[in-house]
Amino acid sequence: MFGTCFGNVRTTVPLVHNITNYVTVNDVANVLLACGASPIMSDEPRDVADITAICGGLNINIGTLNERTIEGMFTAGKKANELGHPILLDPVGAGASALRTDTAIRLMEELELTVIRGNISEIKTLACGSGTTKGVDADMADAVTEENLSEALTFVKSFGKKSGCIVAVTGAIDLVSDGEACYVIRNGRPQMGKITGTGCQLSGMMTAFVAANPENRLEAAAAAVCAMGLAGEIGWSRMEEGDGNSTYRNRIIDAVYHMDAEVLEKGARYEVR
């Protein structure tokens, strides 16, 4: 199933419009190319509607906000809704500042989103309308663990049903739900948290997976999470003495590049609850 989702990305080569943060824009472009999709980046308000119109999906990431990019996000989002294209929102740092929190909530309220992907603190902020995060990282008090998994499942399903879209909470344990079923995913390595942008890369890749699998968007979103986590495992297994987080970043992208349906099916570790 996940292998089919991945295969559809490589076969259809979806063009993904990314309004993403300046810290990770190059890595997002490269991981999209690695998984078989095609990236385009534009945040100029006068440009974004035309760009969105030729793309199959829109990835909105609020990591480096300014008034111009905010305008671009809403303009692109409305065009994507008009055309029926999937939209993913990555509410980076929601809860860390009023601007981030308010912008993320407005995007959620004014656009018809397909997927919301973030860490548990960011997702809780959107669910509650306010919150706090440690910069762009999840508060450790919010971390999803085996001990609080049942409670986290209830929360994610509830928010998925309330929001009307797929909710993907990523961390040590990943949860992906449409309000009914929830994929509990255990792929990945803790060292991925030492690289800036693995979450941003996942959001870009998830947009491609969802765009390429319009009839199976929940499974496609979960497949993207497994693929990224598995790439982290494969990349870590290839680290050598003297390698650090910069090398690890490249090894993860390389692992996505060389991954195929069979490798993903074999390596994906998940259950449906």
What integer pLDDT is reported at residue 131 of this predicted model?
54
The residue-averaged pLDDT of 79-97 equals 97
pTM above 0.85, yes or no: yes
pLDDT, tens digit, for every residue of 46-83?
999 999 999 999 999 999 999 999 999 999 999 999 99
pLDDT, tens digit, for every residue of 128-173?
876 555 544 545 457 899 999 999 999 999 999 999 999 999 999 9
As a three-state string, the secondary structure of 174-235 is: EEEECCCCEEEECCCCHHHHHCCCHHHHHHHHHHHHHHHCCCCHHHHHHHHHHHHHHHHHHH
Domain count, the chain: 1
Q: In angstroms, rounded to a whole number, what is the distance separating the alpha carbons of residues 158 and 134?
A: 24
Residue 30 has which token pair? 């490269």
The residue-averaged pLDDT of 78-102 equals 97
Q: Which of 153, 203, 161, 162 is nearest to 178 (CA)?
A: 161
Q: In angstroms, rounded to a whole number, what is the distance separating the alpha carbons of residues 262 and 48?
A: 37
What integer pLDDT is reported at residue 138 of this predicted model?
46
| 202 CB neighbour count, 10 Å cutoff | 27
pLDDT for 107 beyond 90: yes
What integer pLDDT is reported at residue 132 of this predicted model?
55
pLDDT for 229 beyond 90: yes
The residue-averaged pLDDT of 12-32 equals 97
Q: In angstroms, rounded to a whole number, what is the distance separating the alpha carbons of residues 134 and 122?
A: 10
The residue range of the domain holding 123 is 2-272
What integer pLDDT is reported at residue 185 of this predicted model?
98
Place of tokens 């990591």: 63
CATH code, 21: 3.40.1190.20
Taking each helix axis as running N to C, give the angle between helix 98-110 and helix 120-128, from 0 to 180 degrees, rounded to the nearest 10: 70
Q: Are 167 and 116 in contact (CB under 8 A)?
A: yes
Q: In angstroms, rounded to a whole number, what is the distance separating the alpha carbons of residues 172 and 198?
A: 13
What integer pLDDT is reported at residue 141 of this predicted model?
59
Q: In angstroms, rounded to a whole number, what is the distance separating the alpha carbons of residues 28 and 237?
A: 22
High-pLDDT (> 70) share of the chain, %: 96
Question: What's the mean pLDDT when you consider all of the chain?
Answer: 95
Q: Which of 93, 76, 95, 72 is nearest to 85 (CA)?
A: 76
The residue-averaged pLDDT of 102-124 equals 97
The residue-averaged pLDDT of 179-194 equals 97
Q: In angstroms, rounded to a whole number, what is the distance separating the alpha carbons of residues 70 and 160?
A: 24
